[in-house]
Structure 1
Amino acid sequence: MKGQEWYQADDVAQEYDEKRFSKGGRLIDRREKQAVLNAIGPVEDKQILEIACGTGRFTSMLAERGAEIIGLDISGPMLQQGRQRAQSAGVADHLEYMRGDAGRLPFPDDHFDVVFAMRFFHLADTPEEFLQEMCRVSNDQIFFDTFNRYSTRSLYNWALPMGSRLYSSREVHSLLDTADLKLVSAEHDWIFPYGLYREIPNRIASGLRWIDGGISRLPLGGRLASVSYWNARL
């Protein structure tokens, strides 16, 4: 998996949220959380697994809404940040963090109602294998996002500390078919790249987001989107 050593560095874990979700990045955080909630729906009493949970943005959010959730990540420092977040939110009793490999999930078949991964598939060298493993431990729903090949994402891909994998819509549909998954819904968003939002104040980013949303709603806007959210079922 791309960036495995980079994500496990202590300083990366400490600065991860601040770098990505401060300033205009708060809009990204809000939209991603809404995408997860839109797909999963009511989460109370659901058994949920998050792959590559990082610092626990989504695990704590879902635990606050009544889910029983496990967050898995390869990074010990990231998981420690997640545990601190859960303690601060008062939901530590409703979630568990585990260090592990997404390619060899330490769970039995059909164990979870929902398995999801955000900000993961752009790092996957073998996405087919990871998706198959997610399907193995789910009894119902799979949700994930991708960065899109024919979009502004490609313009700054070279600047990242590791190369991102970009997907065409055809490639994602092929992944779903190979995993015997049925696509329930898909959302396509963010014409302008994430990196631009992170570098500008929230007030200016909000205006840019308004323009972004207007373009997205045009007939061909979805084809320009840099990010897609995929909701599928077994």
Structure 2
Amino acid sequence: MKGQEWYQEDDIAEEYEEKRFSRGGRLIDRREKQAVLDAIGPVQDKDVLEIACGTGRFTVMLAERGADVVGLDISGPMLQQGRQKARHAGVADHLEFMRGDAGRLPFPDDSFDTVMAMRFFHLADQPASFLSEMRRVSRDQVFFDTFNRFTTRSLYNWALPMGSRLYSRWEVSRLLDSAGLSLKEADHDFAFPYGLYRQIPNQLASTFRDIDRTLIKSPLGKRLASVSYWNAQVP
């Protein structure tokens, strides 16, 4: 998996959210959380597994809304940050953090209502095997996001030291078919790449976001979208 060693560095957990979600990145954080909530719907009493949970952005949010959540990640320091968040939010009883490999999930078949992964598939070197494992342990829903090929993300990718795996809609469709999943709905967003938002102040980012939304709503919106959210069902 791309960046595996980087994500396991001791200082990454402390720097991760400051790097990713400061300044205009806060807009990204809000949009991603809304995408998760829109896809899962009412979360009360649902069993949810998050793959690559990092410092617990989504796991804590879902636990606060009444879900029973397991967060799995390869980074011990990030998991520790997540545990601290859960304690501070008062949801530690509804949230378990585990260190593990997304390619070999340590759970029986059909263990969770929903299995999700955010900011993961762009790092995946074997996306088909990861998606197959997610489907295996889910009894109802699999949700994930991708960065898209032939968009502004392709240009931004050149500036990244690790790069990202980019996906076409055809490739995602093929991955879903091979995993035995059916697409329920998809949402597409962000004509401007994430990196732009993280480099500018939040107030200026809001202006760019207004332009971004207008572009996405245009007839070419789906083709311009650099990010897609895929909500799939287990037949």
TM-score (norm 1): 0.99
Give the Cα–Cα distance (whole angstroms) in 2 for the partners of residues 178 and 46 of structure 1: 26
For this pair of structures, how many residues does the alignment match? Answer: 234
CA-atom RMSD, angstroms? 0.6
Alignment of 1:21-170 (within 5 A): 21-170=21-170
Equivalent residue for 1:18?
18
Deviation at 1:5, TM superposition (A): 0.3
Give the Cα–Cα distance (whole angstroms) in 1 for the partners of residues 73 and 159 of structure 2: 24
Structure 1 range deviating more: 140-149 or 81-90: 81-90
Residues 24 and 202 of structure 1 are in contact (CA less than 8 Å); yes or no, is this contact kept in structure 2? yes
Deviation at 1:162, TM superposition (A): 1.3
Say if 2:206 is the partner of 1:206.
yes
Give the Cα–Cα distance (whole angstroms) in 2 for the partners of residues 159 and 4 of structure 1: 19
Secondary structure at 2:136 match in 1:
helix
Give the Cα–Cα distance (whole angstroms) in 2 for the partners of residues 129 and 26 of structure 1: 32
Equivalent residue for 2:172?
172
Residues 3 and 161 of structure 1 are in contact (CA less than 8 Å); yes or no, is this contact kept in structure 2? no
Equivalent residue for 1:223?
223
Q: 1:11 to 1:159 in 2, by over 3 A?
A: farther
Give the Cα–Cα distance (whole angstroms) in 2 for the partners of residues 156 and 147 of structure 1: 11
Deviation at 1:12, TM superposition (A): 1.3
Deviation at 1:100, TM superposition (A): 0.1
Give the Cα–Cα distance (whole angstroms) in 2 for the partners of residues 21 and 7 of structure 1: 16
Structure 1: any 5+ residue segments left out of the alignment? Answer: none
Deviation at 1:159, TM superposition (A): 2.5
Give the Cα–Cα distance (whole angstroms) in 1 for the partners of residues 160 and 144 of structure 2: 21
Secondary structure at 1:187 match in 2:
strand
Deviation at 1:163, TM superposition (A): 2.2
Give the Cα–Cα distance (whole angstroms) in 2 for the partners of residues 56 and 201 of structure 1: 24
Amino acid at match of 2:6: W
**Runs of 4+ deviating beyond 3 Å:** none
Secondary structure at 1:10 match in 2:
coil
Identical aligned residues as a percent: 76
Amino acid at match of 2:90: G
Q: Deviations over 1:162-196 (max 9, x none)?
A: 12100001000000111111100000000001011
Give the Cα–Cα distance (whole angstroms) in 2 for the partners of residues 166 and 56 of structure 1: 24
Residues 188 and 226 of structure 1 are in contact (CA less than 8 Å); yes or no, is this contact kept in structure 2? yes
TM-score (norm 2): 0.98
Give the Cα–Cα distance (whole angstroms) in 2 for the partners of residues 121 and 2 of structure 1: 10
Give the Cα–Cα distance (whole angstroms) in 1 for the partners of residues 163 and 206 of structure 2: 28
Secondary structure at 2:158 match in 1:
helix
Deviation at 1:10, TM superposition (A): 1.3
